[in-house]
Amino acid sequence: MTRALRALLFAAGLTLLAAACGDGDSTTATDSPSTTSASHTDGRSDHDHADQREVDAASAPTLVIEVLEDRTSGWNLHATLTDFTLAPQRVSTDHVDGEGHMHVYVDGVKLGRVYGEWFHLGQLDPGDRHIRVELSGNDHAQLTLDGEPIEAEAMVAVPEPAGDSHGHGHGETALIEATEPLPTLALEVIPDPAGGWTLHAVPTNFRLAPENVSTDHVDGEGHMHLYIDGEKVTRLYGDWLQLPALAPGHHDIRVELSANDHSVVAVDGVAVDATVMVMVEGADESGDAESSAGHDHSADTGSTGEPTRFDADVADAVQTIEIALVGGQPEGGAEKVKVDAGSVVAFLLTSDTDDTVHVHGYDILRTVSASGSAHFAFTAEIPGVFEVELEGSHQLILELEIS
Amino acid sequence: MNTLAHGIGSRGDLPLPLTALVVGALSAIIISFVVLTVAWGHPRFDGLATGRVLGRTDGVAGRVFVTAGRLFGLLVVVVGLGAGIWVTDNQWENITPRLVYVLLWVIVPLLSFVFGDIWRWISPFEALAALRDRVVGEEAGGADAGASRLTLFVPAAGLLVFHWVELAYHASASARILAWMLGAWIVMSTYAALRYGGEGLRSRDPLAVWSRLIGAGGPIFVRGSEWGVRAPFVGLSQVPVQPGIALAIMIVLGGTTFDGVTRTDWWRDIMGTRVGWGATAVNTIGLLLTISVLLVLFLTAIRMMQRAAGTDDSTYDDVFASALLPVAVGYSIAHYFSLAVFEGQFLWIQASDPFARGWDLFGFRSERPNYTFISTTVVAWVQAMGIIIGHLAGVVVGHDRALSELPPNRFERSQLPLIALMMTLTCFGLFLLVEA
């Protein structure tokens, strides 16, 4: 069922791409207003977090931004930070000194959260635009130094759109074959404890190169495109993104790899992509949570996807444990895997059924959907033997021996 | 399938290093022969077991202490049954699995080993039995004389059922199943208390039997309405020889051993991807086989002793079974010490909201268990020492038993099979921990 749906959506996505062939710019141009409007909605709800937190002057973070016009379409934000770690995996949790995310405002209106040093602003209205970025703690408190927000501003002059809004004739192709080592993509959508959703997309054998976006194709580098329900929403320049507000109901969140020149990276003619289905609860959608992949309220602990203090960046992983689940069972049976205590371990799970993966002891719960995969990492701080289990069926997937 | 102890628990122990196996096995052999050659030549435990009486249990302080204990026990049983029936059936919200598998089955016996029969103090059924004894009068024949007439086959069967649910049944952590088990146990023990009184209860309630057997070696004892202290282990010579005691002990020893077996890679390969009743069937065979193998080993050792001693005394099985009690406790410590320490923390966390109603009675509701406050090195030491000290105590108790039971002229030779059995169990126990 889900597979069929996914195939259908994928086909729809391809059709859209095919339709946009030779008209690559307009794809982004057409869709960027939806980013803006969706984020505005979110921005209003975010105004509740009006708290401020003074940082220690000795280790005060600094922020410098530049706003660059994209050669294809829209505008890119580049933030340079010191003494500050972007920690999207811990957003909406307790404050940690020197950690958090950024908020971006256009003409005083909040566009959304920024989880990486590069961010695609999309199209901006013609005229002089005031871009402001400020630092925020994990708990959304505005960070201040001597009572002043830590922020950076830039003014950009957005030109009137040129007369020929229909493509610039790059002659780009829709698909470009990837070279060895073949890239893959893991995707998860995590509920934000404060509401909304966080997207976590991790490509392997693929370098995210926002600095080279809209330039010539280079094998093995580029960025990613985000589609929601088949519609292109924005570009991803980093692993993490705050999803725009979603209406109640099912949503297909698809991310695909894109080359610098915006052609779609493919293997054997098939785009390298990953899809996760998210179920957004709403007043008139109750009782339909069972089939949800993104937010499973029936899970035992009810804390699926909740950040834990062990969460780590998959990029730091010294060991990646790959598990293929077939029919809700680990291919080749449940193994015992030895892990060094204190090291960062990543899981890369693929499954043909929807379920929730539970790392016992650490109580990390992550969803894995039939059409996607789960890629997450944590610091193996607690020594001992821990089971990794599917919560739905209580099927043992693996035992972790951490010593 | 859930290979961690009891179907609950988040953290398992690391395998012991191979050196622990070698050191443990060597200590076992040395201890055994030292005891055989230099230990005392006349039974001493019976004399030592008299101990020193320190007070009465029926004074005001004693009554308050006993009443408080039994109220606590009543609370445990009532909360366990209530939560088991009504609260959401998962081990994070439902306290029943941990009440049964951690508090009643691990913490109570381990504390009994250290302090003496804990369950007798906190058992709410003891209160019923005391009431009945006051109204009807105790069974004729007095307290201790009564016990040896009673068989332990019923509690042995109860312990087997418990182990089956714990280790073989595929939904062992299900609060609903545990509610059924608790319900049956409450009915059975209430009946035993009201029908047979305190002495009868202590030979019928499976937990009371196990706590009494383990607690016999503890330094605190209760005799009639007096309590006192004595050297550890010496009380094991006072364990009444009841038919079925060997079976009961071998069932618990077998259960703990099988729990160790299920954690080996070898067993994991056998289980493969079996789940549900398929897993239950394989585990049932494994559990029964393990108990049977231990029973056969034990009976073989006893028959060899009888041949060496030139008797066919049919009570030998039950006379020498108590020497295996410390070995069984050693196995329990080795397998369940960390479970008690780590999962035990959930007890007060969950007790703050025992019915998952959002309460926070003690303020621990949102605490998380600390899985690191005892290091894996300490756990490994406790495991190895548990097995080795269990072995030491077993050999000493067996030696003392042998002195009082075996004919003096054939004494040393006829003691060998029992010591060989204990060395086998000790090495196998350590081997399972290395292979875990």
Q: What is the DSSP string of B251-306?
A: HHHHHHHHHHHTTSHHHHHHHTT--HHHHHHHHHHHHHHHHHHHHHHHHHHHHHHH
Q: Annotate B146-193 with DSSP letters as a single string.
A: HHTTS--HHHHHHHHHHHIIIIISTTTT-HHHHHHHHHHHHHHHHHHH
Q: Which residue type sits at B215? A: G
| Measured distance CA(A210)–CA(A236) in Å, rounded | 9
Per-residue pLDDT, averaged over B351-373, amounts to: 83
Please provide the average confidence, as pLDDT, over all residues in chain A: 76
Residues in B closer than 8 angstroms to A330, CB to CB, are 273
Q: Which residue type sits at B434? A: V
Residue A8 has pLDDT above 60, yes or no: no
Contact A333 B273 (CB under 8 A): yes
Residues in A closer than 8 angstroms to B11, CB to CB, are 360-361, 382, 384-386
| Measured distance CA(A92)–CA(B106) in Å, rounded | 40
| Measured distance CA(B43)–CA(A395) in Å, rounded | 54
For position A141, what pLDDT does the model report? 86
Q: Which of B324, B332, B254, B244 is nearest to B292 (CA)?
A: B254
Fold match flag (A2-32+172-285 vs A311-402)? yes
The fold of the A2-32+172-285 domain, in CATH, is: Immunoglobulin-like (2.60.40)
For position A20, what pLDDT does the model report? 40
Per-residue pLDDT, averaged over B411-427, amounts to: 84
Q: Is the dihedral of CA A11, A36, A281, A275 positive or negative?
A: positive
Contact A387 B14 (CB under 8 A): no
Between residues A133 and A40, the one the model is more confident about: A133
Residues in A closer than 8 angstroms to B375, CB to CB, are 383
Nearest to B13 among A381, A382, A384 (CB): A384
Within 10 A of A169 (CB to CB), how many other CB atoms are there? 11
| Number of domains chain B contains | 1
For position A314, what pLDDT does the model report? 81
**How near does any CA of chain B get to the CA of A403, in Å?**
7
Residue A171 has pLDDT above 60, yes or no: no
> Which residues have a Cβ under 8 Å from the Cβ of B300 and sit 6 or more positions away?
B417
Most confident of A54-68, B105-119, B147-161: B105-119
Q: Write the pLDDT tens digit of every residue in A74-103.
A: 889 999 888 898 888 888 888 888 899 998
Q: In A355-394, at which residue ranges do the beta strands (DSSP E only) sit?
A: 355-359, 364-368, 373-379, 384-390
**How near does any CA of chain B get to the CA of A359, in Å?**
9
Q: Structural domain of residue B287, as residue ranges?
A: 5-435
| Measured distance CA(B202)–CA(B44) in Å, rounded | 26
Q: Are B117 and B205 in contact (CB under 8 A)?
A: no
What is the length of chain A? 403
Contact B11 A386 (CB under 8 A): yes
Residue A111 has pLDDT above 60, yes or no: yes
**How near does any CA of chain A get to the CA of B89, in Å?**
9
Residue B46 has pLDDT above 90, yes or no: no
Q: CA nearest A394 in B: which residue?
A: B1
Interface probe, candidates B89, B376, B383, B432, chain A, greatest A C-beta count within 10 A: B376
User: In which element (H, E) is residue A264 found?
Assistant: strand A264-267
Q: Is the dihedral of CA A395, A399, B1, B4 positive or negative?
A: negative
- Predicted ipTM of the assembly: 0.77
**How near does any CA of chain B get to the CA of A365, in Å?**
13
| Measured distance CA(B339)–CA(B331) in Å, rounded | 13
For position A42, what pLDDT does the model report? 36
User: In which element (H, E) is residue B429 found?
Assistant: helix B411-435
Output the six-digit token pair for B172.
């062992």
| Measured distance CA(A380)–CA(A342) in Å, rounded | 5
Domain boundaries, chain A: 2-32+172-285, 33-158, 311-402
For position B148, what pLDDT does the model report? 59
Contact A401 B3 (CB under 8 A): no
> Which residues have a Cβ under 8 Å from the Cβ of B393 and sit 6 or more positions away?
B217, B232, B233, B236, B326, B329, B330
**How near does any CA of chain A get to the CA of B132, in Å?**
44
Q: Which residue type sits at A120? A: H
- Residues forming a β-bridge with B115: none
Q: Annotate A52-66 with DSSP letters as a single string.
A: EEEPPGGG--EEEEE
Q: Which residue type sits at A277? A: M
| Measured distance CA(A372)–CA(B233) in Å, rounded | 60
Contact B11 A361 (CB under 8 A): yes
Contact A387 B265 (CB under 8 A): no
> Which residues have a Cβ under 8 Å from the Cβ of A44 and sit 6 or more positions away?
none
User: In which element (H, E) is residue A2 found?
Assistant: helix A2-19
For the domain A33-158, what is the CATH code? 2.60.40.10
Residue A40 has pLDDT above 80, yes or no: no
Nearest to A334 among B11, B90, B268 (CB): B268
Residues in A closer than 8 angstroms to B2, CB to CB, are 387, 389, 394, 396
Q: How many CA atoms lie within 13 A of B89 on its CB side?
A: 12
CA A367 → CA A303, A333, A370, distances in Å?
Answer: 11, 20, 10
Q: What's the pLDDT band for B9 if we cut at 50, 70, 90?
A: low
For position B36, what pLDDT does the model report? 72
Helix/strand number for chain A, H first, E second: 2, 32
Most confident of A286-290, A327-331, B71-75, B167-171: B71-75
Q: Is A320 buried (19+), middle (13-18) or exposed (0-12) by CB count in 10 A?
A: middle
Q: What's the pLDDT band for A291 if we cut at 50, 70, 90?
A: very low
Residue B6 has pLDDT above 50, yes or no: no
Within 10 A of B14 (CB to CB), how many other CB atoms are there? 22
Phi, psi of A277 (to 5 degrees): -95, 130
Residue B287 has pLDDT above 80, yes or no: yes
Residue A44 has pLDDT above 70, yes or no: no
For position A38, what pLDDT does the model report? 31
A-B C-beta contacts closer than 8 Å: 69
Residues in A closer than 8 angstroms to B3, CB to CB, are 387, 396, 399
Q: Which of A364, A252, A246 is nearest to A299 (CA)?
A: A364
Q: Is A328 buried (19+), middle (13-18) or exposed (0-12) by CB count in 10 A?
A: middle
| Measured distance CA(A264)–CA(A272) in Å, rounded | 8
Residues in B closer than 8 angstroms to A327, CB to CB, are none
CA B56 → CA B66, B114, B130, B230, distances in Å?
Answer: 11, 21, 15, 16
**How near does any CA of chain B get to the CA of A290, in Å?**
17
Q: What's the pLDDT band for A31 if we cut at 50, 70, 90?
A: very low
Nearest to B14 among A301, A383, A393 (CB): A383
Q: Which residue type sits at B221? A: F
CA A85 → CA A154, A238, B349, distances in Å?
Answer: 22, 14, 34
Please provide the average confidence, as pLDDT, over all residues in chain B: 86
Angle at B386 between CA B381 and CA B388, to 5 degrees: 95
CATH class of the structural domain A311-402: mainly beta
Residue A196 has pLDDT above 70, yes or no: yes
Angle at B306 between CA B304 and CA B311, to 5 degrees: 155
Characterize the bridge pairing of strands A75-82 and A118-122.
antiparallel
Q: What's the pLDDT band for B253 if we cut at 50, 70, 90?
A: very high
Residue B379 has pLDDT above 60, yes or no: yes
Contact A387 B272 (CB under 8 A): no
Q: Write the pLDDT tens digit of every residue in B390-410.
A: 888 888 888 888 888 877 777
Place of tokens 């410390």: B326
Output the six-digit token pair for A344.
């960062």
| Measured distance CA(A355)–CA(A78) in Å, rounded | 37
Q: What's the pLDDT band for B127 if we cut at 50, 70, 90?
A: very high
Residues in B closer than 8 angstroms to A389, CB to CB, are 2
Q: CA nearest B8 in A: which residue?
A: A360
In angstroms, how far apart are the furthest CA atoms of chain B?
Answer: 69
Nearest to B2 among A333, A336, A394 (CB): A394
Where does residue B142 fall: left (phi above 0), alpha (psi -120 to 50 degrees), or beta otherwise?
left
**How near does any CA of chain B get to the CA of A330, in Å?**
8
Per-residue pLDDT, averaged over A252-256, amounts to: 87
| Measured distance CA(A132)–CA(A108) in Å, rounded | 8
| Measured distance CA(A157)–CA(A130) in Å, rounded | 9
Contact A385 B273 (CB under 8 A): no
Residue B299 has pLDDT above 90, yes or no: yes
Per-residue pLDDT, averaged over B315-340, amounts to: 89
Q: Write the pLDDT tens digit of every residue in B70-112.
A: 999 999 999 999 999 998 887 778 899 999 999 999 999 999 9
Characterize the bridge pairing of strands A207-208 and A221-228.
parallel
**How near does any CA of chain A get to the CA of B363, in Å?**
20
Output the six-digit token pair for B406.
């075996």
